[in-house]
Amino acid sequence: MKIIHTIAELRAELAQAPAAPAFVPTMGNLHDGHLALIAQARTLVGDSGSPVVASIFVNRLQFGPNEDFDTYPRTLERDADLLRQAGCDILFAPNESELYPQPQGYKVVPPTELADILEGAFRPGFFTGVCTVVLKLFNIVQPRLAVFGKKDYQQLMVLRNMVNQMALPIQIHGGETLRAEDGLALSSRNGYLNPAERAEATQMIATLRTVKAQVAAARSAGQLDQGAVARIEAKASAALNERGWKTDYVLVRRQRDLLLPTDAELSHGEPLVVLAASRLGTTRLIDNLEL
Ligand code: PAF
């Protein structure tokens, strides 16, 4: 695996590749979930000659003023070893002055109805930061396909829509969420949890599974409408908060656009997803489950 730090070197390397690459953008501090995305990219390219490129860049633009940009773990050597073992061909790891030589004045602002709900409502500007860096990375890497985890469900949708609306010739693939044996979704931020919090953290997926069961029960009883959904969501938030969590949201939305389903859609089998974000101690965890 080649490790490349500059845009010029990366372009020179990719110019020699027989086909456009597959791309997995990350912020590093990698876990098995990221490595599964690399494996998925490898499978998708098959024997086409497309190299698998990963990037590691902790993107200042997507962190709020009180978030963990400064403390976000930078573990480049370990990450490079993991990527090498996972079959990545090229690691692009630019520093900040390479990617943002001037303050990034041109930004991609995603539409408010998708980007200012759920995560965007609690992390203003987050998706502008994500879209801006991903578009810039896409311009540098010029991949034919890119893989993003479904754990960041809204991010995947925002980026898919950006690619569609901007007519970028890139296929976007979603990677299934990898979970620890006890169900906790793998996340770089799980490393912030102390042992007691790590044990408690399984309540996030337990809550989502309860919501899933309650939605299914209400649906099969012919009683699933917006009121029933609101009651299920409120009970789920309260259950987490009673255990000491500080919940931003537990919301049931349409899979296709993350908007509120109508009563008719709820009773007619519209595909749904429950999404949650809650803080355990100082660590904010997010997860989701398709219903
Ligand atoms: O999901 C992430 O790790 C980041 O949001 C991404 C897509 C690499 C952009 O910085």
| Mean pLDDT of the region 60-87 | 96
- 25 CA distance to ligand 1 centroid (A)? 6
Residue 287's pLDDT band (boundaries 50, 70, 90)? very high
- 243 CA distance to ligand 1 centroid (A)? 30
One-character DSSP codes across 220-265: HTT--SHHHHHHHHHHHHHHHHHTT-EEEEEEEEETTTSPPPPHHH
pLDDT at 92: 98
- 62 CA distance to ligand 1 centroid (A)? 9
* % pLDDT > 70, the chain: 100
| Mean pLDDT of the region 196-202 | 98
pLDDT at 28: 97
- 105 CA distance to ligand 1 centroid (A)? 19
The token duo for 100 is 């943002």
Q: Which atom of ligand 1 is nearest to the CA of 130?
A: 9
Q: Do domains 2-175 and 188-290 have the same CATH topology?
A: no
pLDDT at 160: 98
Residue 130's pLDDT band (boundaries 50, 70, 90)? very high
Residue to substitute in 99, 131, 133 for testing ligand 1 pocket (most ligand atoms within 8 angstroms of CB): 133
Q: Kindly compute the dihedral angle of the four CA atoms of residues 209, 210, 213, 217, in this order, to the nearest 10 degrees.
A: -160
Lateral strand order in the sheet of 246-254: 246-254, 272-280, 283-290
Q: Which atom of ligand 1 is nearest to the CA of 25?
A: 8
Task: Please report, for the chain, the start and end positions of each structural domain, with discontinuous segments joined by +.
Answer: 2-175, 188-290
Residue 227's pLDDT band (boundaries 50, 70, 90)? very high
| Mean pLDDT of the region 270-289 | 97
Residue whose CA is at the smallest distance from ligand 1 atom 2: 26
Q: Which atom of ligand 1 is nearest to the CA of 152?
A: 1
Residue whose CA is at the smallest distance from ligand 1 atom 6: 26
Which CATH superfamily includes the segment(s) 2-175?
Answer: HUPs (3.40.50.620)
Please give the positions annotated as active site.
34
Q: Which residues line ligand 1 (CB under 6 A)?
A: 25-27, 59, 62, 130, 133-134, 152, 155
Cα–Cα distance for residue pair 184/278, rounded to 1 Å: 13
pLDDT tens, residue by residue, 148-170: 999 999 999 999 999 999 999 99
| Mean pLDDT of the region 254-282 | 97
Domain boundaries 188-290, CATH class: alpha beta
Q: Is the dihedral of CA 100, 105, 110, 112 positive or negative?
A: positive
Q: What average pLDDT does the structure give for the chain?
A: 97
| Mean pLDDT of the region 190-207 | 97
pLDDT tens, residue by residue, 17-48: 999 999 999 999 999 999 999 999 999 999 99
Which segments within the chain are labelled E, that is strand?
A: 2-4, 22-26, 52-56, 90-92, 145-149, 171-175, 246-254, 272-280, 283-290
* % pLDDT > 90, the chain: 99
Q: Which atom of ligand 1 is nearest to the CA of 26?
A: 8
3-state secondary structure at position 168: coil
pLDDT at 25: 98
Residue 233's pLDDT band (boundaries 50, 70, 90)? very high
pLDDT at 249: 98
138-147 burial by CB neighbour count: b if 16+ within 10 A, else e? bebbbbbbbb
Instruction: Report the chain's C-alpha Rg in angstroms.
Output: 20
